[in-house]
Amino acid sequence: MQLIIAGASGREHVGRHLASAAIRSGHSLHFIDTEEAYRGPFLSRKIQWHFCGRRPVRLRRFSDQVLRASLNGASCLITTGLAPISRQCIQRVRAAGVMTANFLTDDPWNPAHYAHWFLEALPAYDFVFTPRRANIDDLRRSGCNAVEYLPFGYADDVHAPAQQALGDCDVFFAGGADPDRVRWISALTRAGLNVSLYGGYWRSFPQTKRLAKGFAPPEQLSQFVAGARICLCLVRAANRDGHSMRTFELAAMRACMLVERTPEHTELFGSEGQSVLYFSGEAELLHNIRLLLASPGERYRLAESVHLRITAGKNKYSDRLAHMLETINMHPSGCCQAVTA
């Protein structure tokens, strides 16, 4: 197929993973970096973001770029996340006979992401694939034609086990800071654990400021994982997550995982101790960390088990792309109301 994928180009982003999967699968690809829509004079960016509903500076120009590419023989346009593309653009792309789909990496009703212009555009897509079951009904009520649950995945060219470890810590976590996540990290520091903390906004919270190590380069992420005795897997409450990108990435990197208990996590990883340990509260979090720190053999067993469980299934981003395209080809009108379990 001749595909257009619009997404962020960084190696850590879903758009980049889907684009790499498309190339390896033999599709003709035109990749468009969505970060271009946000470039512009500093003052303009601030005004658009704070006073115009997080509207990208170059929304119209970027939409025109996507439209021109779509009219050049494309079969399908796939966008990721809160794609900076106008409703009118999506409608014109569809009118030209090009199928359209969005992989909705964030919850658009999360107050940190809410943007009226995007919620107006979203129902114009033929298909919306969401990695969270919690917003399926909201998406349907908002007018989206075809909504399907599709989990995150991992990229085997990025999330492979490391041959060499970097760092040494009791607990490793990589991801953005939220108040609900700060709660868990604060419990670890009060317990005197050696924590390595990567991601954005951790310096904004006094409880975690001294632990913040900046961003982990994607090419070194698996090495940091290899240097940690335990890797924490947290969801984001404001995003209504049942799992996160790290859910699959840590497993693929053969981490010993301590996982926030959710229905989707238990569905993926099985019962307690089968491939991960879970926690729901602070006492259980600290209890299971102490158990794992005292048992290197159990950490090794769990890491091997979760790695096999995830990599033996169809959980690569190439599998996610194949599923999207199969769904689109099965329902080319985009008129189904599909939700998979």
Asked whether residue 39 falls in the same domain as residue 148, the answer is yes
In a domain, 164, yes or no: no
Asked whether residue 296 falls in the same domain as residue 326, the answer is no
In a domain, 137, yes or no: yes
DSSP H or E segment with residue 236: none
Asked whether residue 177 falls in the same domain as residue 148, the answer is no
Residue among 176, 197, 175, 201 at smallest CA distance from 186? 197
Q: Determine whether 15 is exposed, middle or buried from the number of CB atoms within 10 Å of its CB (0-12, 13-18, 19+).
A: buried
Asked whether residue 212 falls in the same domain as residue 115, the answer is no
Share of the chain above pLDDT 90, in %: 87
In a domain, 75, yes or no: yes
pLDDT in tens, 176-204: 999 999 999 999 999 999 999 999 999 99
The overall average pLDDT reported for the chain is 93
In a domain, 160, yes or no: no
Residue among 131, 123, 174 at smallest CA distance from 149? 131
In a domain, 109, yes or no: yes
Report the 10 Å Cβ neighbour count for 210.
10
| pLDDT score for 335 | 45
One-character DSSP codes across 110-124: STTT--HHHHHHGGG
Asked whether residue 266 falls in the same domain as residue 290, the answer is yes
The pLDDT-based confidence of 55 (bands split at 50, 70, 90) is confident
pLDDT in tens, 291-304: 999 999 999 999 99
Please give the model's pTM, rounded to 2 decimal places: 0.93
The total number of residues shown for the chain amounts to 341
Q: Using alpha carbons only, what angle is made at residue 113 by residues 64 and 137, rounded to the nearest 5 degrees? A: 95
Asked whether residue 322 falls in the same domain as residue 274, the answer is no
| pLDDT score for 180 | 92
In a domain, 338, yes or no: no
Q: Which domain holds residue 270?
A: 169-311
Residue among 283, 313, 315, 289 at smallest CA distance from 302? 289
DSSP H or E segment with residue 247: helix 245-252
Q: For 159-163, what is the mean pLDDT?
A: 95
Q: Using alpha carbons only, what angle is made at residue 290 by residues 171 and 189, rounded to the nearest 5 degrees? A: 50
Asked whether residue 183 falls in the same domain as residue 139, the answer is no
In a domain, 162, yes or no: no
Q: Is 229 helix (H, G, I), strand (E, B) or coil?
A: strand
In a domain, 58, yes or no: yes
Asked whether residue 136 falls in the same domain as residue 187, the answer is no
One-character DSSP codes across 308-328: HHHHTSS-BHHHHHHHHHHHH
| pLDDT score for 43 | 82
| pLDDT score for 332 | 66
pLDDT in tens, 257-293: 999 999 999 999 999 999 999 999 999 999 999 999 9
Asked whether residue 256 falls in the same domain as residue 278, the answer is yes
Share of the chain above pLDDT 70, in %: 97
Looking up residue 22, the CATH number of its domain turns out to be: 3.40.50.2000
pLDDT in tens, 74-131: 999 999 999 999 999 999 999 999 999 999 999 999 998 899 999 999 999 999 999 9
341 has pLDDT over 80: no
Pairing of strands 195-198, 257-260: unpaired
Name the domain count of the chain. Answer: 2
Asked whether residue 176 falls in the same domain as residue 278, the answer is yes
| pLDDT score for 113 | 86
Asked whether residue 137 falls in the same domain as residue 230, the answer is no
